A and B are shown apart, each in its own frame.
Chain A
């Protein structure tokens, strides 16, 4: 496990003072967070802490009420998923957001189809999809023309991840990618997550599973009731301390 000295490198993504309410319910309070390239940042927090909401704000799904967002030090404003994608931000959503009636290639290129003139360039898309899946060392899908409805949970997760890395993305955010997976599939996905960071991408991994978090992450950011209560190096904390942060929002041995 290697991470570069944080002082040497400005964060790829920096969030400051993010607030978000749904009606009367304030889900995010003054959230700050930074994510570095080449690292896996684990975002932890109890159910309902606001993790998915934070991710959707970054991805342009929900507008944030207030707050600032910086990419490589310059301020950006994201109003739609397309704008997020243009900044190199790709999100693998908790519910995967795949279209069951479309095949793997069609899903991977959804909304960003390759065309020549008016006509879809199917061979090119199929080839690129194949290449991306191969580069992720995915051997589990036999044909990329399979409809997504015929895939297993692990295969769907892989397709969703492949969809995110297809685009020269710089930041990949994965929302509980292993929640519905078995042991072997979980290991495979975690390996993939680590590989993304080792290839120089900034990665945010949302997970409930402490083993997963300690297995792959370089840093841990903890949300508690919509507030960012800690951002620490993984090597500086113990399982018990992180669990305490998640459940009570504070920890004895924590050096904020």
Chain B
């Protein structure tokens, strides 16, 4: 606890601003518009945050290197278009189209990463060019003015259907037991080796907090949300939640527990030192772009599912800025070397809460954009200031 406070004083704020922001925003909106604080709206928040959070998760990898991918939004659009067009016009089964969409994302990432790492073009320029080009590609694939419908029930289900309440609790159980197992195992092995380990109270507190938080979430989402439950019942955890959870766990493992993740942080912190340590810096750079664009593809699939269609603006307008904003609001640094996949989820929720709450209050899109932009600027300032503070304290 004391260590935590000390590290906060040194400018290492972690998830604090995002969590505090989330609580404040939720309280304010709940007071102003009671409908905000209902199970139905709670479920909406997750599906609204899904696309942005998924893209932001991938962006974290690129931001960790101090690079940027401005094309991630339209990459998700291109991949969504690949999904929709191959199903609608070629009649491919959903899994083939989904595979094609994801491979398209990976290939895009490979090309972007190659241009940045091997050709040495600044990522800002490469991805700005790609931003424009992919916007054109979506237009060409979808054909201007067209909307490609998605009819496959499985793809539609991803962002619009829910788990049965029982299945929700099963997932809850797996998550809590899994988290507890990882925590206990690591603590035991650290104790055995005689190195610094958390006290059992801390471990218990952490596991307990996660269990309570997830438990409340599942309980609320399992409530009946339908206006007329006799005609159609609407309850359960939205399917996107375990999808996001899957990528959250995978990304967190990759960054925190593998040598690859360690090297990613190292290259973001000091690429020359990493090179001298024998790390293949170019390869790390390329891989980050591949992960980013692949996650953009996943985000695109979720967006297509939510709208049950793809149009030339899928992945356009504010999607990319919301995703960058989500990562930064969550606590990922734009200067590289600092960030977590969890940041993308927390920040994505903040962005979704602002969007949703202000919508309920009847504000226009114009006001929403101004407010979201201000929040992003605020988060970037916190980032810059905490960085300054950390370098002053050396």
Contacts and interface: CB of A to CB of B under 8 A. Distances in A.
Given A59-B276, A106-B262, A150-B393, A99 B337 contact: yes
Nearest to B270: A99
Given A112-B278, A120-B257, A98 B196 contact: no
B306 interface: no
B195 A127 contact: yes
A189 B278 CA distance: 26
B394 interface: yes
B61 to A, nearest CB: 15
Interface in B358-394: 390-391, 393-394
A105 to B, nearest CB: 9
Interface in B237-293: 257-259, 262-263, 265-266, 268-270, 272-279
Contacts of A122: 186, 190, 195
Contacts of B193: 123-124, 126-127
Given A102-B266, A151-B394, A81 B278 contact: yes
Chain B: interface residue count, which band?
A: 20 to 34
B275 A149 contact: no
Contacts of B279: 110-111
Nearest to B393: A150
A98 B270 contact: yes
A120 B269 contact: no
A102 B269 contact: yes
B10 interface: yes
A250 interface: no
Contacts of A85: 278
B391 A111 contact: no
B10 A150 contact: yes
B196 A126 contact: yes
A100 B269 contact: yes
A111 B263 contact: yes
A91 to B, nearest CB: 8
Contacts of A120: 257-259, 262
Contacts of B146: none
Interface string A56-90: 00010100000000000000000011100100000
Contact of A145 (B196, B273, B276): B196
Contacts of A101: 265, 268-269, 337-338
A122 B197 CA distance: 11
B258 A119 contact: yes
B194 A110 contact: no
Which of the listed residues A96, A99, A143 has the most CB atoms from chain B within 10 Å of its own CB?
A99
B257 A97 contact: no
B393 A82 contact: no
Contacts of B275: 61, 81
A59 to B, nearest CB: 7
B394 A81 contact: no
B278 to A, nearest CB: 4
Contacts of A152: 394
A174 B265 CA distance: 26
Contacts of A97: 270, 272-273, 276-277
Nearest to A118: B258
Given A124-B193, A126-B193, A80 B278 contact: yes
A14 interface: no
Contacts of B226: none
A127 B262 contact: no
A130 interface: yes
A103 to B, nearest CB: 11
A140 interface: no
Contacts of B276: 59, 61, 81, 91, 93, 97
B384 to A, nearest CB: 15
A46 interface: no
B233 interface: no
B337 A123 contact: no
Contacts of B338: 101
A111 B279 CA distance: 6
B194 A111 contact: no
A111 B274 contact: yes
Interface in A136-163: 143, 145, 149-152
A113 interface: yes
B311 to A, nearest CB: 41
A120 B261 CA distance: 10
Interface in A45-61: 59, 61
B190 A110 contact: no
Nearest to A152: B394
Contacts of A93: 276
Which of the listed residues B265, B272, B273 has the most CB atoms from chain A within 10 Å of its own CB?
B273
A123 B195 contact: yes
Contacts of A145: 196
A248 interface: no
B189 interface: yes
Contacts of B190: 122-123
Given A82-B278, A111-B277, A115-B259, A149 B391 contact: yes
B199 to A, nearest CB: 15
Interface string B331-348: 000000110000000000
Nearest to B279: A111
Contacts of A151: 394
Given A102-B266, A115-B258, A151-B394, 7 more contacts: A97-B273, A98-B273, A106-B262, A111-B279, A119-B257, A122-B186, A123-B189
Interface of A: 59, 61, 80-82, 85, 91, 93, 96-102, 106, 110-113, 115, 118-120, 122-124, 126-127, 130, 143, 145, 149-152
14 contacts: A59-B276, A81-B276, A96-B273, A99-B265, A101-B268, A101-B269, A102-B265, A110-B277, A111-B266, A119-B257, A119-B258, A126-B193, A149-B390, A152-B394
Nearest first, the 7 closest Cβ-Cβ pairs linking A and B are: A111-B277, A82-B278, A99-B269, A123-B193, A101-B269, A101-B337, A97-B273
